[in-house]
């Protein structure tokens, strides 16, 4: 997750019209589904083709499941804390005879 970039972006008019975005939803901040797919594939849904109002077709349209991505992010933060808390601690496995 740490390698993901955060982008500010604007949807073009044709896409916004096709998916029914309101004018106040044209600008957003987020991550790219293509990049998230590489590190967290369960948080990305492949939706196939998307036909845009101007006649263009987006092949293999990807949608981020934001709830799933957030939960995975929280889990990763928790694991980093565990790693930090136990840094330098040696573990061994004891097997009773």
| Cα separation of the two ends of the chain | 43
Domain that holds residue 76: 7-85
Q: Which token pair is 44?
A: 């990305």
Q: Mean of the pLDDT values across residues 45-65?
A: 90
Domain count, the chain: 1
* Structure confidence by residue, pLDDT tens digits, 72-94: 778 777 877 766 666 665 655 55
- Give the CA distances from residue 84 to residues 43, 64, 78, 90, 91, in Å, rounded to whole numbers and listed in that order: 26, 29, 10, 13, 15
Domain assignment present for 18: yes
Sign of CA dihedral 29, 18, 59, 45: positive
Sign of CA dihedral 37, 42, 48, 53: negative
Using an 8 Å Cβ cutoff, are 43 and 7 in contact?
no
**pLDDT at residue 4 in the model:** 86
**pLDDT at residue 33 in the model:** 93
pLDDT band at 5 (very low <50, low <70, confident <90, very high): very high
Q: Mean of the pLDDT values across residues 23-30?
A: 93
pLDDT at 1 over 60: yes
**pLDDT at residue 78 in the model:** 81
Domain assignment present for 90: no
Domain assignment present for 32: yes
């Amino acid at each position: 997750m740490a390698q993901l970039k955060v982008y500010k972006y604007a949807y073009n008019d044709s896409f916004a019209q096709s998916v029914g975005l309101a004018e106040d939803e044209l600008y957003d901040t987020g991550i790219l589904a293509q990049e998230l797919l590489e590190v967290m594939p369960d948080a990305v849904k492949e939706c196939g083709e998307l036909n845009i109002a101007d006649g263009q077709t987006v092949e293999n349209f990807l949608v981020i499941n934001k709830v799933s991505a957030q939960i995975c992010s929280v889990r990763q933060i928790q694991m980093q804390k565990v790693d930090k808390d136990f840094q330098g601690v040696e573990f061994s496995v004891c097997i009773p005879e």
